[in-house]
């Protein structure tokens, strides 16, 4: 099942710089593992902002929640989830 | 270049039913032609609504505009365009 | 899988009264069939408004979409879908 | 009487981690007591976010207020309350 | 139990003038009956607009819903309901 | 002259607890004095939130401003003021 | 007492042109009478829009309401009222 | 003096097609005259929508208002005006 | 040329009290100088809030910007600027 | 390809003053280099605010993103990007 997710990252003023770098590295590794597993099937940057638009292919909304909740940057993110379904005009 | 587009369709009360069906058929054909050309690369239904989330792969924003402006349902759509760029964590 | 759905009904001025009554009867029957099937598991009125808050238990977001799209009042509704997951403090 | 409540939790940057854990444990216990008493009759996680959607069955809005005000996480929550009534199409 | 209600009236262009006057008379009578019964305990005009702020004293949200749904102007109103409870600093 | 006022209290993270208690006591006393003078004629809690809905009966908007500006919790409040007038259907 | 009022005019599609002109003439006369009486003390056009920003000097919010409600264009206006008070830095 | 203007065009359902074409031709001519006079110094299409972003170079806000109010499509536009000033980092 | 300006002041928690008083005194003096010069022609308090509504009479938007940017409280303000023009019904 | 960008700068309370000055100088130099290269083709101040409206001429949205992401003030900015295309009435 597909979910469209928009994540916006806001680091609080005062967050230690090296801590932020650690979190970003962990986030990247976490994200790439999920991409390789075919769970996180699209990942785009929204041009000009610290945010992304993603599409996840998961079994259930439980699984989606567990993934997003585990993101290293989760505490610093605003997340908006939209459930998708097949479009009748899609040729794929 | 990739653009994320959300389209929401609102038919005015009073639109002739057969006219609406004609427009929807024309829209489907128009969309599928663009999908086959590799311009309209993703097309999903937003579950529970008369709207879609799409990704277009076009040369320029001119080309994107010309496509969207030519949609048979364009006069009945609200359209929101978001420019995308490559995400540094994307593995593709 | 559970989805939280809020539906708001707005009849356009000029809709024929008997047509509205037909649609409301059809909606009621449609809703009660789905309740009996265990798909539409909660249905509450938002006090003071022509809208409801519902919870659906469906296999996929496809199934949710097909149900909502088929509602007799769908053309006159604003619909907002929220994916739910199990809460770690829930005792059920 | 039924109330629909949406709670969103935002911990301020700088809140001590162990303090946050204490509050979350206390919140869980508090919530489960109310669930066992039949006051807090539904509790769902909104997928992908630190928030829940709940339904309370209480005698009065006073009682609802006293419960919500007493939540251990209350100072870190945004809370939105919606009064529900029976839906004429509900079969229960 | 007290509910705070804000009602905004919007007549559609094209509503027959005498029909509007009938509805307004019926609304006035309906409102005054409820005021005399002690259900509709406050009714103020929002200065400069066609809207009111009211407080209802009812047994349940069911009762509130039944009253508001029965307002002659209900089809032309936007209604927002807020549940009230006793304030700890109130001296009454 | 009547004014409808909605006040929402937000304490900043880091405000000293005993300072907050002092402010709340002062606020209560201040509010009750005005209630006894017949200036602050209604005071309700919005169920489930740290906010109130009030009605003030004052001579002028100057007087209203002076009262609200003097509230001990003023620096921590969002305040929204709405001017009221007599409703033609009110029986009082 | 001073009130700041913003009025936005929206004529519905289908309003007869000569009717619109009549209403605009009546509005102008009505407004100028109030200006001469010293009630409507400022009247500015918001550049580029069919709306104005005004300041009224009236005895009470009742009086303000009666004026605004009587505007010939009232049924086609969105009106927002803000109560003003003397600013401590004003030299007048 | 420079003003940034965003115009969004919404034709009402039911507007005669040939009337719309006349208005669009008149709008084009009107706009090009102002461009040639150096008043309307930038005119861009917002990609994917029936709206534009423009910059005007005028003597006063009066002049801006007179231009916008005279646009053939003015009755069908939402217009948002933003006053600009020289940026200290601009090299021109 | 006239501009309508709304300023809302928000002091951050933690700003030193005497520093705040200094800024407020400087702001008052700055404002009164401009009022005496005939630049800041109206200054009202929005009743019940720490904000004002002002009208400036300046040569250009440059001049307006320079004035607002120089306000001692500028770093703590949200500012909204609206360009005004003469209203055809104004008698002055 | 043209992009319209609005940037709003918000410095957090507590940012060191000399650090802010360094960032502003670096921003100015960075911006002027891009202006000289013909990438940042328009830069205006929004009168009365700490924000700008800009137009960029870049090859791709990737290039736009890389520029904006590299702005010295990027961590303190809210950025909104709008893709532009040629307007059919533009004479240039």
CA neighbor of J41 nearest in space, from D29, H91, E73, C38: H91
Residues (pLDDT < 70) of chain G are none
Interface test with chain H among B52, B53, B81, B84, by most H beta carbons within 10 Å: B81
- Does the distance separating the beta carbons of H13 and B81 come in below 8 Å? no
* DSSP annotation of E16: -
CB-CB contact of A50 with C73 (8 Å): no
CA neighbor of J92 nearest in space, from H27, H29, H36, H5: H36
For chain E, positions 41-80, list CB contacts with chain D under 8 A. Answer: 60-62, 64-65
Chain J residue with CA closest to A8: the answer is J78
- Does the distance separating the beta carbons of I49 and F61 come in below 8 Å? no
Q: What would the pLDDT profile of A27-71 be if each residue is shown by its tens digit?
A: 999 999 999 999 999 999 999 999 999 999 999 999 999 999 999
Residues, chain G: 92
- Does the distance separating the beta carbons of F85 and E44 come in below 8 Å? yes
CB-CB contact of E74 with E10 (8 Å): no
- Does the distance separating the beta carbons of I91 and G53 come in below 8 Å? no
> What's the CA gap between E83 and E75, in Å, rounded?
22
The pLDDT value recorded for residue J3 is 98
CA neighbor of J64 nearest in space, from B24, D16, E49, B83: B83
The pLDDT value recorded for residue G75 is 97
- Does the distance separating the beta carbons of I12 and J49 come in below 8 Å? no
Interface test with chain H among I83, I84, I86, I90, by most H beta carbons within 10 Å: I83
- Does the distance separating the beta carbons of H14 and G14 come in below 8 Å? yes
ipTM over 0.85: yes
Tell whether the model's pLDDT for residue I92 goes beyond 80.
no
* A and H touching (3 or more beta-carbon pairs closer than 8 Å): no
* E and H touching (3 or more beta-carbon pairs closer than 8 Å): no
Largest pairwise CA distance in chain H: 49
J85, β-bridge pairs: H45
Q: Are strands G51-57 and G2-9 parallel, antiparallel or unpaired?
A: antiparallel
Which secondary-structure segment (H or E) carries I68?
A: helix I61-69
Distance of CA I16 to the CA centre of its chain: 23
- Does the distance separating the beta carbons of I5 and J48 come in below 8 Å? yes
Joined tokens for residue A43: 């990942």
Chain F residue with CA closest to I8: the answer is F78
Q: What would the pLDDT profile of D52-84 be if each residue is shown by its tens digit?
A: 999 999 999 999 999 999 999 999 999 999 999
CB-CB contact of A65 with C85 (8 Å): yes
pTM of the model: 0.96
- Does the distance separating the beta carbons of G64 and F83 come in below 8 Å? yes
> What's the CA gap between E78 and C49, in Å, rounded?
8
Chains that touch A (3 or more CB pairs under 8 A): B, C, D, J
Joined tokens for residue C43: 């249905």
* DSSP annotation of E11: P
Q: What would the pLDDT profile of I67-82 be if each residue is shown by its tens digit?
A: 999 999 999 999 999 9
Radius of gyration for chain B, computed over Cα atoms and rounded to the nearest angstrom: 14
The pLDDT value recorded for residue B33 is 98
> What's the CA gap between C88 and E63, in Å, rounded?
35
Tell whether the model's pLDDT for residue E92 goes beyond 90.
no
Question: What is the number of H-type helices and E-type strands within chain F?
Answer: 2, 4
CB-CB contact of I17 with I11 (8 Å): no
Q: Tell me the count of A-B CB pairs closer than 8 A.
A: 83
Compute CA distances G1 → F39, F79, G40, whole Å: 18, 20, 12
CA neighbor of F75 nearest in space, from J60, A77, H30, I10: I10
The pLDDT value recorded for residue B92 is 78
> What's the CA gap between F37 and F19, in Å, rounded?
27
- Does the distance separating the beta carbons of I81 and H62 come in below 8 Å? no
Share of chain I above pLDDT 70, in %: 100
> What's the CA gap between I30 and I43, in Å, rounded?
13
Confidence of residue F92 (pLDDT cuts 50, 70, 90): confident
Q: What would the pLDDT profile of H27-55 be if each residue is shown by its tens digit?
A: 999 999 999 999 999 999 999 999 999 99
> What's the CA gap between I6 and I16, in Å, rounded?
25
Q: What would the pLDDT profile of E19-69 be if each residue is shown by its tens digit?
A: 999 999 999 999 999 999 999 999 999 999 999 999 999 999 999 999 999
What is the residue-averaged pLDDT of chain E? 97
Residues of A in contact with B85 (CB under 8 A): 44-47
Confidence of residue D50 (pLDDT cuts 50, 70, 90): very high
Of F5, F14, F75, the CB nearest to I48: F5
CB-CB contact of C64 with C56 (8 Å): yes
- Give the gap in angstroms from C-alpha A61 to the nearest C-alpha of chain J: 31
> What's the CA gap between D41 and D54, in Å, rounded?
7
The pLDDT value recorded for residue H92 is 78
Tell whether the model's pLDDT for residue F23 goes beyond 90.
yes
Residues of G in contact with I44 (CB under 8 A): 2, 4, 55, 84-87, 90
CA neighbor of D37 nearest in space, from C85, C91, F48, C44: C91
* C and D touching (3 or more beta-carbon pairs closer than 8 Å): yes
DSSP SS3 for D48: coil
Residues of A in contact with C3 (CB under 8 A): 61, 83
DSSP SS3 for I64: helix
Q: What would the pLDDT profile of F25-66 be if each residue is shown by its tens digit?
A: 999 999 999 999 999 999 999 999 999 999 999 999 999 999
Compute CA distances D18 → D22, E10, F13, F32, G17, whole Å: 6, 53, 16, 39, 70
Residues of A in contact with B31 (CB under 8 A): 89
What is the residue-averaged pLDDT of chain J? 97
What is the residue-averaged pLDDT of chain A? 97
Residues (pLDDT < 70) of chain C are none
Distance of CA I32 to the CA centre of its chain: 11
* D and A touching (3 or more beta-carbon pairs closer than 8 Å): yes
Q: Are strands E51-57 and E2-9 parallel, antiparallel or unpaired?
A: antiparallel
Joined tokens for residue D12: 């301020």
- Digits of tens for pLDDT over chain B (92 positions)? 999 999 999 999 999 999 999 999 999 999 999 999 999 999 999 999 999 999 999 999 999 999 999 999 999 999 999 999 999 999 97
Mark E54-67 as b/e (b = at least 16 C-beta within 10 Å).
Answer: bbbbbebbbbbbeb
Which secondary-structure segment (H or E) carries I25?
A: helix I17-36
Residues of I in contact with H61 (CB under 8 A): 1-3, 83-85
Residues of I in contact with J47 (CB under 8 A): 3, 61-62, 64-65, 68, 81
Using a CB–CB cutoff of 8 Å, tell me whether A38 touches chain B. no
Joined tokens for residue I49: 């809030």
CA neighbor of G81 nearest in space, from E45, F42, F74: E45
> What's the CA gap between J92 and F56, in Å, rounded?
60
Chain A residue with CA closest to C4: the answer is A83
CA neighbor of F79 nearest in space, from I48, I75, J15: I48
- Does the distance separating the beta carbons of J2 and H89 come in below 8 Å? no
Chain E residue with CA closest to G63: the answer is E47
Q: Where are the alpha helices (DSSP H) in chain G?
A: 17-36, 61-69
DSSP SS3 for D1: coil
- Give the gap in angstroms from C-alpha B3 to the nearest C-alpha of chain H: 10
Chains that touch D (3 or more CB pairs under 8 A): A, C, E, F
Residue B21 backbone class (left: φ over 0; alpha: ψ -120 to 50; beta: rest):
alpha
- Does the distance separating the beta carbons of C45 and E79 come in below 8 Å? no
The string of DSSP letters for H12-75 reads PTT--HHHHHHHHHHHHHHHHHHHHTTSEEEEEEETTSSEEEEEEE-SSHHHHHHHHHH-TTGG
Joined tokens for residue B65: 């505009």
Give the residue carrying structure tokens 């996480």. Answer: D73
Residue D14's φ and ψ, nearest 5 degrees, are 110, -10
Of B3, B85, B86, the CB nearest to J83: B3
Residues of H in contact with B64 (CB under 8 A): 47-48
Q: Tell me the count of G-H CB pairs closer than 8 A.
A: 27
- Give the gap in angstroms from C-alpha A19 to the nearest C-alpha of chain J: 16
CA neighbor of E9 nearest in space, from H76, C73, F87: F87
- Give the gap in angstroms from C-alpha E88 to the nearest C-alpha of chain C: 26
CB-CB contact of J76 with J10 (8 Å): yes
Per 3-state DSSP, what percentage of chain D is helix, strand, and coil (rounded to 5)? 35, 35, 30
């Amino acid at each position: 099942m597909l979910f469209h997710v928009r994540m916006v990252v806001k680091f609080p003023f005062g967050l230690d710089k090296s801590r932020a770098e650690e979190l970003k590295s962990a986030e990247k590794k976490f994200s790439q593992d999920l991409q390789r597993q075919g769970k996180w099937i699209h990942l785009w940057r929204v041009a000009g902002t610290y945010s992304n638009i993603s599409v996840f292919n998961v079994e259930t909304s439980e699984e989606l929640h567990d993934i997003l909740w585990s993101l290293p940057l989760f505490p610093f993110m605003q997340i908006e989830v939209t459930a998708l379904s097949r479009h009748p005009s899609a040729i794929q």
